[in-house]
Amino acid sequence: MEGKQTGGFLLLSFVGFSIIITIVFLLLTEKTSPMVSLIIVPILGAFVAGFGVAEISGFFEKGISSVIQVVIMFVFAILFFGIMKDAGLFEPLIQRMIAVSQGNVVTVAVGTVIIAAIAHLDGAGASTFLLVVPALLQLYKRLHMNPYLLFLLIAASTGIVNMMPWGGPVGRAAAILEVSPTSLWKPLIPLQVIGIVLVIILAFMLGVREQRRIAQKKVPFQKDGLTEKDMKDQHDSESHLRRPKLFWINAVLVIAVLTVLISETLPPGYIFMIGASLALILNYPKSKDQMERIKAHAPGAMMMAGIILAAGTFLGILSGSKMLDSIATSVVYILPGALIPYLHVIIGIFGVPFDLLLSTDAYYFALLPVVDQIVSSAGVSSLSIAYAMIIGNIVGTFVSPFSPALWLGLGLANLSMGRHIRYSFFLIWALAVVMIIISMLMGIVRV
């Protein structure tokens, strides 16, 4: 009997490892979409491990139920902030900061951080690059600033802002831990404030360095060389969507939604459902216009929803079949006992290098569950484990070749991914390590 149990334990460990390795390989090589690999590979593994259709159905139902609230929140948060951006809520702030910062290299560098942080409030990397790069690239060129500095500062500031529950990584981690994304995010808010301050300091220092570099080349500044065209957002084709007269009403709506979200008075998904509905009524009262806005943002929302649901089936099978438990037990036997309580911190410290090796989906859906199972066996809370891995990795989101939004931004500026990584990687990594140290001092990450 003991031999059969040991054999079953080894089989589950082997199959579980195989599922994770296969999914990571498929995500790395992009042989299939994340949704396909997260659905097909686990079910094949479950059949190999000897589970029947009825058991797999139970795993599926449990997995889906654990992520459905996250899916609802993602869909309607993307819709809500997309409508706010369409209505031009962030436009006056960004254009004003561009106007104020022109001509001063240090001010431009610091302003880039603030502009990128504001633009990324919707958590969508693609729209952030679409908004910030065209607006600021001309300014950088006229001041003869290195355009790779622009991307370094965008990457650093958006990485910090991306800790919001609708940004992606926190939602993925929440789905794995089966907790509310909002409750997972709330302890991170003070850390985000500190992080933005650190990035502003970094921008000031790099701005001074850049100013000296330009001065050494004796390149003249062009303080008044900006044309009206340079100062405008290049999305003039969407100007009919802007609602400048509703600026303050939209601002109040966003503040109200975020206030209720933080207070946890209502479920996050329901809050964004209400917010998106009110935003549509206020800005686009005609039914036809409302449907057009929904259709415009549906692809991004549905893609994220599909990936999260697929991840739910993946986690449901690995968890319900006890494969994760078996993997964790196997690794515990292999690792030195003294190392296990610190494994999450070690993984977090190397989170930015992992960005070069793993996609966001692979890092959170394949690596986090295994680390959680291992380290929690040493008495460390799952929340602390998740925080270490989130903080260490999230700052490097936009130095990763697995980020489609980054490729989009570099394409807009006609820049090289390799040069961006060489320019930004070590500074971004250092920032992430500092953030982990601060989070440990604040008690967010524990060992």
The pLDDT score that the predictor gives to residue 103 is 67
Walk along the chain (447 residues) in steps of 10 and give the mean pLDDT of each run: 54 86 76 84 92 92 82 82 82 69 82 88 73 77 87 94 84 84 89 95 94 76 42 55 86 87 80 93 93 87 80 84 76 72 89 78 79 85 91 88 74 80 92 95 89
The pLDDT score that the predictor gives to residue 378 is 82
The pLDDT score that the predictor gives to residue 72 is 84
Is the Cβ–Cβ distance between 377 and 328 less than 8 Å?
yes
Residue with tokens 């991170």: 188
Distance CA 306, CA 147 (A): 35
Is the Cβ–Cβ distance between 188 and 379 less than 8 Å?
no
The pLDDT score that the predictor gives to residue 275 is 93
